[in-house]
Chains A and B, each alone.
Chain A
Amino acid sequence: MGSNLPLFPEAASTIAPDVDHLAVFLLAVAAFFTVLIFVTIFYFAIRYRRRSERELPLDTHGGMTLEILWSVIPFGITMVMFSWGASLYFRESRPPDNALPVYVVGKQWMWKIEHIQGQREINELHIPINRPIRLTMTSEDVIHSFFVPAFRTKSDVVPGKYSTEWFTATKPGKYHLFCAEYCGNRHSGMIGWVYAMEPQDYEKWLNSNPPPSTMAESGSKLFNGMGCPACHKPDGTGRCPSLVGLYGSTVHLADGRSIVADADYIRESIVLPQAKIVAGYGSLMPTYKGQVTEEDLVQLVEYIKWLGDKSEGNKPFPGTQGEPLAIPDLRGK
């Protein structure tokens, strides 16, 4: 497999070359100081080698100036390293608004991936290039970690919560996917491939095996099947808040806090409803823990996201049966 720099993996995402540039800078600084120390020691050791057993060198005296210099200058260099690393980290923590969501459920010892149009993959992830992809991930059991070396990104996948990782692939290709947090017997077998494709190839892939329903559709079936509309009436007349327009909005809780209704909030409200009660409502909702799997939960999240845009009324689910599947636009969402 070709590499951009020798001994570096392929740089196949928008952030990968930037991480590599930081790596080169760090290498240069390290090489400089390593050579400096090695050469100085080598030189001193030979120049000042002991020539007779009785010789007694004069003490050289330390100076405050020298100590300050060789504390402050390295510290300054480390601050450059810090800022550079931090700026990359900030970028990595803020997925763009138009990122294409993909859901990942890790379990011993496989990756279960679901696209919003409903395609499911095991240990493989097909994505279009030049489009930010945002992974929302959780684990069914122990802590895993979703690592794509070619993209230079990684995030732990933790049971009980969602974690996010995003990237934009830049080159079509097949890239290693590794689990990077020790998770038991087949940890080194929990690997796969990310397939980055040109947009037209990706659309071909989307249409090659259309799934029976999209995630939001599946979520809708779950929602209705478990009797949720009985309380969560869409017009708000039910015992519980309407979920239309909920996703992404600010929710005022009974204990005075205000939070944004994100995927974590949705998930928690289903498995642990009494953790955050909405102001003005009682603690009525039963827990569905044990009745829904992590895969069910992400479908419910997608359904509630779809409910988010109040103005559209009876709009179809994205990629509804019969239409050719296309990469969702999602701008403005």
Chain B
Amino acid sequence: MITTAVQEREHYLNESYGIKSWLLTKDHKRIALLYLFTVTLFFFLGGAFATMIRIELLTPRGNFVSNDTYNKLFTMHGVAMIFFFLIPSIPATLGNFFLPMMIGARDLAFPRINLLSWYLLVIGGLFALFAMLAGGVDTGWTFYTPYSTTYSNSWVIATALGIFVAGFSSILTGLNFIVTVHRMRAPGMTWSRLPLFVWSNYATALIQVLGTPVLAVTIILLFCERVFHIGIFDPALGGDPVLFQHLFWFYSHPAVYIMVLPAMGVISELVSVFSRKRVFGYHFVAYASMAIAVLGFLVWGHHLFVATQSVYAGLVFSFLSYFVAVPSAIKVFNWTATLYKGSISFATPMLYAFGFIGLFTIGGLTGLFLAALGFDVHVTDTYFVVAHFHYIMVGGTIMAYMGGLHYWWPKITGRMYPEGWAKLSALVVFLGFNLTFFPQFILGYMGMPRRYHVYPDEFQVLHVLSTAGASVLAVGYLMPMIYFVWSLKYGAIAPANPWGASGLEWKTQSPPPLHNFDETPVVTEEAYDYSTVIGEEVQIG
């Protein structure tokens, strides 16, 4: 659809031009786009590593890459995807762009710290990229000692430094969000009127602020051990390798909630808009986010059930892990109930929301499997775990991210994406994803260990299915890359509120003006009040 309408109105994208106006911006919307660019680069880098992994796993023997290269591939896939894509993704792109708008603010509380956060991610990313190009790192993204401190001959320090710096990016974003939600809400925007996306990002910010410093210290200790051999994690020097695992997972378990809570926030928005109803059990969903954030800090030991942790510790962590499942279940039930007697649209964002709910349900339920001690003993360190976390992070978070990108694309860019192609991509992603990862549950229970370069012949069929799925999934991710970029020039011009959504961000133009609102809004409605909203048709000029 080609439009000849010229944007004459001034908004955040055209109010200034030039590279300095981007690299020195304090506008949260531009910073969100800087992040979008960066995380997308790392997504495709991590995806390239994944492609090579899946190609290698087509055959039981290692004939595509060497042992060493394979070990580096899965390590760097994990590092790139977790620290440089998933953790920043939704909060730093969609959160940065929309959190201030949703609460009626002109910007975050600390715009310059926001820009600093982006630079820290880029600097950390450059360290990690250097490590990847200089030869790679082969410890697994979990860096278990003493392999990572004493035995690995790869770029451990450079990678760890990159993660260290990126961690501060995460901490500062969290700090910024917390202060913003507390102090920058427009008049009338009470906590009970906040969109659930704000609640989710707030809960996420709490985790970022409290958990990430522990990762930072763990990395410092890893560094000291590797460089100075201080003897903290290496038994040959009097240290305890399992101590590293406790310290590492104390952050890395809450980190998975950093990755999933914002996604849940997006889903709350999508389910509401595309049912044209307030989210069922609004308060329960809001408090469930907070409960997940708190409980998420109490379960790290479920990664150590076979790691020689005491039996009693195992019991405690298993028990608490079941607790943290309940708030997630509450959310799934409430989203489903929102559909009841709603007005359901099948626009692309809603398709992604459906995909999320289904796949997160499966992923979350398999988490219950893993929390069962006797079951975990068999499947831990196998492909069952790999399937579980990919269901949540890819089937969950990435689907929500795609849904959010599509939903807010008109607001961010002032253009509509092509709906037909978008629906097709969503379907391709859903099918490709399931074909890639469902066989891995079976592989895992059958005993296929993770991080294996070569494997016994009897596992080949399932691996071939998985690789086939991965190629379909790759297509599903490439398509939006293409049509989103296409839409910037040729997409239909988007009105202020193409979806008939509630929420302050839809009450301003698409794209928004520099200061978001011409006047500070005064809020008088509850969240998700559609009675005053009338959906507009998309104008095609």
Contacts and interface: CB of A to CB of B under 8 A. Distances in A.
Given A37-B361, A62-B284, A149-B447, A81 B322 contact: yes
Interface of B, helix, strand, loop or mixed by DSSP? helix
6 contacts: A41-B357, A57-B341, A78-B322, A81-B322, A142-B146, A182-B140
B368 to A, nearest CB: 6
B344 A182 contact: no
A62 B281 contact: yes
B193 to A, nearest CB: 15
Contacts of B318: 82, 85-86, 89
A217 B73 CA distance: 47
Interface string A66-82: 11001100110011011
A184 B369 CA distance: 28
Given A38-B358, A50-B343, A163-B308, A71 B326 contact: yes
Given A55-B276, A187-B451, A75 B322 contact: yes
Interface in B127-178: 138-140, 144-147, 150-152
B517 interface: no
Given A30-B368, A85-B371, A187 B284 contact: no
A274 to B, nearest CB: 11
Contact of A33 (B284, B361, B373): B361
9 tightest A-B CB contacts, nearest first: A88-B374, A160-B235, A149-B447, A85-B372, A89-B373, A62-B281, A44-B339, A188-B452, A78-B322
Contacts of B246: none
A38 B339 CA distance: 12
B368 A188 contact: no
Interface residues of B, number: 96
B21 interface: no
B326 A89 contact: no
B452 A34 contact: no
B540 interface: no
Interface string A173-184: 000101111111
A230 interface: no
A163 B336 CA distance: 46
A186 interface: yes
B41 interface: no
Interface in A135-168: 141-143, 145, 147, 149-150, 152-156, 158-161, 163
Interface of B: 62, 67-68, 71, 138-140, 144-147, 150-152, 235-236, 238, 240-242, 275-278, 280-284, 305-308, 311, 314-315, 318-319, 322-323, 325-326, 329-330, 332-334, 336-337, 339-346, 354, 357-358, 361-362, 365-366, 368-369, 371-378, 380-382, 442, 445-447, 449-456, 458, 500, 530-531, 534-535, 537
B61 to A, nearest CB: 11
Nearest to A158: B308
A50 B347 CA distance: 11
- Contact size range, A: 35 or more
Nearest to A153: B377
Interface string A283-324: 000000000000000000000000000000000000000000
Which of B147, B152, B240, B319: most chain A CB closer than 10 A? Answer: B147
A22 B456 contact: no
Given A23-B375, A37-B357, A156-B307, A49 B235 contact: no
A185 B68 contact: yes
A9 to B, nearest CB: 5
A26 B337 CA distance: 25
Given A75-B326, A161-B235, A82 B336 contact: no
B311 to A, nearest CB: 5
Contacts of A38: 358, 361
Nearest to A185: B67
A60 B450 CA distance: 46
B429 to A, nearest CB: 17
Given A9-B445, A78-B325, A44 B336 contact: yes
Given A48-B340, A62-B280, A33 B365 contact: yes
A168 to B, nearest CB: 15
Nearest to A186: B67
A163 B342 CA distance: 57
Given A57-B277, A89-B374, A181-B381, A45 B354 contact: yes
Nearest to A162: B308
A18 B366 CA distance: 18
Given A19-B378, A37-B332, A158-B242, A187 B368 contact: no
